[in-house]
Amino acid sequence: MVTTLRNVRLMHVLERLAARFSEAGVPLIVLKGGALQLLLYRRPEERPMDDLDLLVRPRDVEKAQALLIEAGCLRGEELVREDFFPRFHYEMAYSYGRLCPVKIDLHVRPFRPLRYSRTVPDAAFWERAVAVPIGQSTVLVPEAGDMLIHLAVHAEVHGDSRPQWRMDVERFVEAFESSIDWGRVVATARAWDLVLPLRRALRRIRAESGPLCPGQVLRQLDRVHVGWRGRLALWQAPRDMDHPVRHVVVGALCTPGFRFSLAYLGAVLFPDAAHMEGWYGRNHRLWLLCAHGLRILWPVLRRVVPVWYRFSGIRTGKSAIHGTGVFAVRDIAAGKIITRYHGQPVEKKGPYVGRQEKQGDRRQYYEITGRLRFLNHSCRPNAKLDGFDLVALKPIVAGQEITIDYGPDACSCRKPPGGARAGVA
- β-pairing, 376-377 with 362-368? unpaired
Query: Edge to edge, what strands does the sheet with 29-31 contain?
Result: 73-75, 91-96, 102-107, 51-55, 29-31, 137-141, 130-134
Dihedral sign for Cα atoms in the order 86, 63, 326, 9? negative
* DSSP letter string, 201-263: HHHHHHHHH---S-HHHHHHHHTS---HHHHHHHHHGGGTTT-HHHHHHHHHHHSS-HHHHHH
Report the alpha-carbon distance of residue 125 to residue 121 in Å, rounded: 9
Closest CA to 104 of 281, 391, 295, 323: 323
What pLDDT is attached to residue 148? Answer: 96
- Quote the pTM value: 0.75
Report the alpha-carbon distance of residue 285 to residue 263 in Å, rounded: 28
| Per-position b or e across 11-43, b if 16+ CB within 10 A of its CB | bebbebbbbbbbeeebbbbbbbbbbbbbbbbee
Report the alpha-carbon distance of residue 154 to residue 23 in Å, rounded: 30
SS3 392: strand
What pLDDT is attached to residue 201? Answer: 95
Going from the C-alpha of 319 to that of each of 76, 98, 101, 398, the distances in angstroms are 13, 10, 10, 15
Q: List phi, psi (to 5°) of 385.
A: -95, 125
Report the alpha-carbon distance of residue 110 to residue 51 in Å, rounded: 15
Percentage helix, strand, coil, to 5, in the chain?
A: 45, 20, 35
What pLDDT is attached to residue 417? Answer: 53
Closest CA to 168 of 154, 181, 189: 154
Report the alpha-carbon distance of residue 117 to residue 86 in Å, rounded: 10
What pLDDT is attached to residue 273? Answer: 77
Report the alpha-carbon distance of residue 328 to residue 235 in Å, rounded: 35
Report the alpha-carbon distance of residue 204 to residue 391 in Å, rounded: 54
Closest CA to 212 of 247, 258, 166, 179: 166
Report the alpha-carbon distance of residue 330 to residue 327 in Å, rounded: 9
What pLDDT is attached to residue 319? Answer: 79
Query: Edge to edge, what strands does the sheet with 353-359 contain?
Result: 343-346, 362-368, 353-359
Strands of 108-206 (E only): list them: 130-134, 137-141
Cβ atoms of 349 and 330 within 8 Å: the answer is no
* DSSP letter string, 404-422: E---TTS-GGGSPGGGPPT
* DSSP letter string, 240-251: TTT-HHHHHHHH
What pLDDT is attached to residue 348? Answer: 55
Domains, the chain, with CATH or none: 2-220 (3.30.460.40), 314-413 (2.170.270.10)
Report the alpha-carbon distance of residue 275 to residue 52 in Å, rounded: 26
What pLDDT is attached to residue 117? Answer: 94
Strands of 227-382 (E only): list them: 314-318, 324-328, 337-340, 343-346, 353-359, 362-368, 376-377
- pLDDT in 10s for each residue of the chain, 425 residues: 788 888 999 999 999 999 999 999 999 999 999 999 999 998 888 888 989 999 999 999 999 999 999 998 888 777 788 889 999 999 998 888 766 778 899 999 999 999 999 999 999 999 999 999 999 999 999 999 999 999 999 999 998 888 889 999 999 999 999 999 999 999 999 999 999 999 999 999 999 888 889 989 999 999 999 999 999 999 999 998 878 889 999 999 999 999 999 999 999 888 887 777 667 656 677 878 888 887 777 777 666 655 655 566 677 777 776 678 888 877 777 877 777 665 556 555 555 555 555 544 555 566 666 677 788 888 888 988 877 778 888 888 878 898 888 877 666 665 555 544 333 32
Dihedral of CA atoms 305, 308, 314, 316 in degrees, nearest 10, equals -60
